[in-house]
Amino acid sequence: MFRVFRRGAFASALLEVAMDGVLGFLAVLLAALTIEMIPHAGFVSVASDREVLLVAAGFALLMALLHSFVGLYRHNVISPVSVLWRMGLALGIGGYLTYLVLKQFTDDGHPARLVGYTAVYLLAALFVVRGMVGAARRALGGLRVIIVGTGPEALEVARDLAANGRSGRRIMGFYPASAEVQGETLSEGPAAAGVLDRRTGLLELVREHGVGEIIVAVREQRGGMLPMDELLACRTQGVTILDLAAFYERTRAEVPIDSLKASWLVYGTGFVQGPLRRLAKRSFDIASSSVLLVLGAPVMLLAAIAIKLDSPGPVLYRQERVGLGGRGFMCIKFRSMRTDAERDGVARWATKNDSRITRVGAFMRKTRIDELPQLLSVLNGEMSMVGPRPERPSFVAQLREQIPFYDLRHSIKPGLTGWAQVRYSYGASLDDARRKHQFDLYYVKNNSLFLDLLVLIETVTVVLFREGAQ
């Protein structure tokens, strides 16, 4: 169930959530001690007071959730400056909500002072602790890695490790899959590493350099290309061995179809679709869609009025999409295009800055308001809150011919939002469809209630800060 959090960036993000929660908790305790909420009491007495503990726990959970909503755990897509102002935004919202709650129980001046001191202590703690963690990571140098291979796939792996700030990997060198390449440097910049001497055994190199992980970046592995005996010896010594599919699944949270073999999907873990998982997902869909329909009713009403005022035509737009098992269903959306958008009857992908999109439609697409009517499809069981976005039958017929394993996305219900939508920028081409399919494969393979919650949280971030796809 927790396997998704054991993967690279997910494990790091989960640790940061826990760390921020602890810091928020301690900040409230220190603030309570500072303003003497319990007169003449020491830290132990304050820390054992039930009311203070309740406030501290609530604030810690709230701040961890707000940090998630503003995307503070998405370091690969936000800059340090953005981290600072998002941190301040989350603290402002969290502090104000905490103040409002505390005001309901007391009016002796404690709420304002408690929140003020808590904010100061938490900001200071976040800067100090995150700085220390970053310094420790740089000092330790990260896990040492050998890349097997010297071709373009090996270079791509090296560049990916260098670009991924969370990877914590240090490349010790490239180990040739054959004896043809020796004595050169294959990469520049942070990933620069030389070609290791193939005459030295791989296990000996692992021991010499203290390597903890080997990445096999060779697409063609038949015909004795790989030193399998050496790899097995390293594996039995506790060294992690990853092929290209496993590497990208862990570091990019996607399943690369170019290097994917059916055997990896057949014999690998994942694809959990048992009765318990289906029951949990359906229960979650019913509860969440019902709540969102109630909360979103005013927004949906305003959207309907705006559509009628902006352009002639119906408020809602019905279109056939492909769902679970390849069966068609009618997908309902708020109309965001002109009524003559496809007057010639030819289906076309929506593109960025599409001229067919109305003024209100452009805003609705950016904020995803146009998708809200699909909550009815979720409630009816045709869709799920999270899953691959459903495509039109004509597009599916084209894509299944050109993209390997495309029909795997139809093994689960399509979603109102999905992993591809929060992880990949807007695009409307065959290459974009291939890349999004890789994220969809990751979701299908690793789907769980925890991954669903993560997608919903990141959807909030994407909508608020316009990251990812529309």
| Torsion sign (Cα): 353, 354, 355, 361 | negative
- Looking at 95-104, 206-215, 337-346, which range is the least confident one? 337-346
pTM to 2 decimal places: 0.82
Instruction: Report residue 44's pLDDT band, with 50, 70 and 90 as the boundaries.
Output: low
Distance CA 165, CA 75 (A): 7
Of residues 273 and 78, more confidently modeled:
273
Q: What is the CATH number of domain 141-252?
A: 3.40.50.720
pLDDT at position 338 is 87
Res. 343: pLDDT tops 70: no
Tell me if 388 sits within 8 A of 432, measured CB to CB: no
Res. 78: pLDDT tops 80: no
List, in sequence order, every residue forming a beta bridge with 143; answer none if it has no partner. 169
Res. 90: pLDDT tops 70: yes
- Looking at 12-16, 57-61, 204-208, 299-303, which range is the least confident one? 12-16
Query: Given the DSSP bridges, would you call strands 328-334 and 240-243 parallel, antiparallel or unpaired?
Result: unpaired
pLDDT at position 135 is 79
Q: Tokens standing for 103?
A: 């005001």
> Chain-centre distance of CA 304, in angstroms?
32
Of residues 187 and 148, more confidently modeled:
148
Of residues 35 and 281, more confidently modeled:
281
Distance CA 270, CA 265 (A): 9
Distance CA 301, CA 296 (A): 9
| Block residue for tokens 């869709």 | 383
Instruction: Report residue 470's pLDDT band, with 50, 70 and 90 as the boundaries.
Output: very low
Of residues 274 and 247, more confidently modeled:
247
pLDDT at position 352 is 67
User: What would the 3-class secondary structure string for 104-153 be?
Assistant: CCCCCCHHHHHHHHHHHHHHHHHHHHHHHHHHHHHHHCCEEEEEECCCHH
Q: What are phi and psi of 326, to 5 degrees?
A: 80, 10
Average of per-residue pLDDT across 373-386? 95
Average of per-residue pLDDT across 456-465? 88
| pLDDT tens digits, 136-145 | 777 776 789 9
Distance CA 75, CA 417 (A): 21
Looking at 174-313, list the stretches that DSSP marks H as alpha helix, in order from N- to C-terminal side. Answer: 202-209, 228-236, 244-251, 262-267, 275-310
Q: Tokens standing for 275?
A: 């009765």
Burial of 44 (0-12, 13-18, 19+ CB in 10 A): exposed
Average of per-residue pLDDT across 102-128? 87
- Taking all residues of the chain, what is their mean pLDDT, rounded to a whole number? 84
> Chain-centre distance of CA 368, in angstroms?
18
Res. 350: pLDDT tops 80: no
Nearest in space to 154 (alpha carbons), one of 83, 99, 226, 207: 226
pLDDT at position 170 is 85
Res. 151: pLDDT tops 70: yes
Res. 469: pLDDT tops 50: no
Instruction: Report residue 164's pLDDT band, with 50, 70 and 90 as the boundaries.
Output: low
Res. 52: pLDDT tops 90: no
Sheet holding 213-216, edge to edge: 169-175, 143-148, 213-216, 240-243
pLDDT > 70 fraction of the chain, expressed in percent and rounded? 84
Res. 39: pLDDT tops 90: no
Average of per-residue pLDDT across 109-118? 88
Res. 366: pLDDT tops 90: no
| Block residue for tokens 């900040």 | 27
Ordered by start, the domain boundaries in the chain are: 3-139, 141-252, 275-465
pLDDT at position 1 is 46
User: What would the 3-class secondary structure string for 303-330 be?
Assistant: HHHHHHHHCCCCCEEEEEEECHHHCEEE
Instruction: Report residue 14's pLDDT band, with 50, 70 and 90 as the boundaries.
Output: confident
